[in-house]
Structure 1
Amino acid sequence: MRHPLSDRFLESSTIIWGMGRSATKILAVNASPEPVRKGATVTVTGRLQHQIGTTWKNYGNAPVTVWFKAKGSNTWKQLGSARTDSTGVATFKKASTVDGWYTMRHSGDGTHFNSSYAYEDYVDVR
């Protein structure tokens, strides 16, 4: 910038803002009840957190997807999506059909990375 009277350059300083993205992780994935009757509802819950500095904090109002892998299969299938509450907990309900593993994932966004590995929980359907 130039000074309006002398036409000399003014000293200036600029604050540099970090434009990074935060790491995310999903904790405590749980599918219940275990075991469950065929056709009964399975409730899948998990807690999403994001890293702020060196601290992990609950990440509320964020989307997650719920995935299922049937026993004997190598393929994960997306069952649907949910949104975390103010404490970072997401809840998803689905009718049970076959034995298998449930998990959750966060796909990230402009300020957050995809979630790292989330725990899987096995449900026995009887």
Structure 2
Amino acid sequence: MNKLITAAVAGAAALAVSVGLAAPAPAAARYTTYLSVNASPEPVTAGGTVTVAGHLKYKKQGVLTAPTPKTLTVYFDPAGSKGPVRIRTVRTSSTGAYAFKHSQSQSGTWIVKYAGASNLTSDRATDYVAARYPTRLTVNASPEPVAIGGTVTVAGHLKYTKHGRLIAPTPKTVSVYFDPAGSAGAVRVGSVRTTSSGAYSFKHSQSRSGTWIVKYAGASNLTSDRASDYVEAYERGPWNYPGRDLDCSDVRMRVWVGANDYHRLDADGDGWGCDSYAP
């Protein structure tokens, strides 16, 4: 009797296997995705526009292929903040490309995420972009003109724009150059530190006509800038002082007479006498 029962049970099990419950199908393969991102320009002027662009592709049989258009989620993580903030979503094209524009007011990281699909893995990509406030550098060299060998004062301000306001940065170093007229280029003559108000002042002798140039190299949060001012140098001489009469045949050069044209050398009233002798 036991043998009959055992045989019946075995037969039922065999029947269940043959007609019943098939083993579950293996899970579908998921292809590895590759997500890229580039935010430009780098660095960006604070408040300016960045273009966030890249591609989403997957590798199949060793070949990178664009999937059908997918939705990506974009975040921005401001430097020093508590974490990323969701900005928007963007769809890829038939080639896997995506791009959008957005303003950026502070340094931080752009993060793009793809959630994945039944046949594609998830992925994410990041790009850090520094935001710099635009600087404004001014310069005025005086007196203008200056006597050859005389001293000029090169002065101005360095400030930056934030939320529409001009603000003086912490003291910065400004480099000073002089580019003599007709020369091969500018020569560095010194440097000067700005004050807490952004002002600077630098004195130097000038022996030739030329351009004074000041440069600020920039910082992690400030753009670089430069400013220039041309100053003519004139030769000292008796034409600048009261005395005996002179004419241009005596002087034989272009000279600065200013407002006090004692010898009436300035025919056109521009402050310069004997213009016909200009080099």
TM-score, length-normalised on structure 1? 0.75
Question: Partner of 1:26 in structure 2?
Answer: 137
Q: Which amino acid aligns with 2:82?
A: T
* 8 Å contact kept, 2:134–2:161: yes
Q: CA deviation at 1:82?
A: 0.4
Deviations 1:23-53 (A, max 9, x none): 11212x1111122222221110011111223
TM-score, length-normalised on structure 2? 0.37
1:109 aligned counterpart, secondary structure? coil
Question: Partner of 1:121 in structure 2?
Answer: 230
C-alpha RMSD over aligned residues = 2.3
Report which of the two structures shows the higher radius of gyration computed on alpha carbons: 2
Separation (CA, whole Å) in 2 of partners of 1:54 and 1:100: 35
Of residues 173, 185, 194, the one that matches 1:84 is 194
Q: Which has the higher helix share?
A: 2
Percent identity over paired residues: 30
Where does the alignment leave 5 or more consecutive residues of structure 2 unmatched?
1-80, 85-104, 108-130, 236-279
Question: Partner of 1:14 in structure 2?
Answer: 82
Number of equivalent positions:
112
Where does the alignment leave 5 or more consecutive residues of structure 1 unmatched?
1-12
Q: CA deviation at 1:76?
A: 1.6
Greater relative contact order, per chain length (Cα 8 Å cut-off, separation 6+): 1
Separation (CA, whole Å) in 1 of partners of 2:170 and 2:231: 26
Separation (CA, whole Å) in 1 of partners of 2:144 and 2:137: 21
Q: CA deviation at 1:74?
A: 4.7
Deviations 1:96-116 (A, max 9, x none): 11111112110112221211x
2:148 aligned counterpart, secondary structure? coil
Separation (CA, whole Å) in 2 of partners of 1:125 and 1:87: 34
**Corresponding position: 1:102 with 2:170:** no
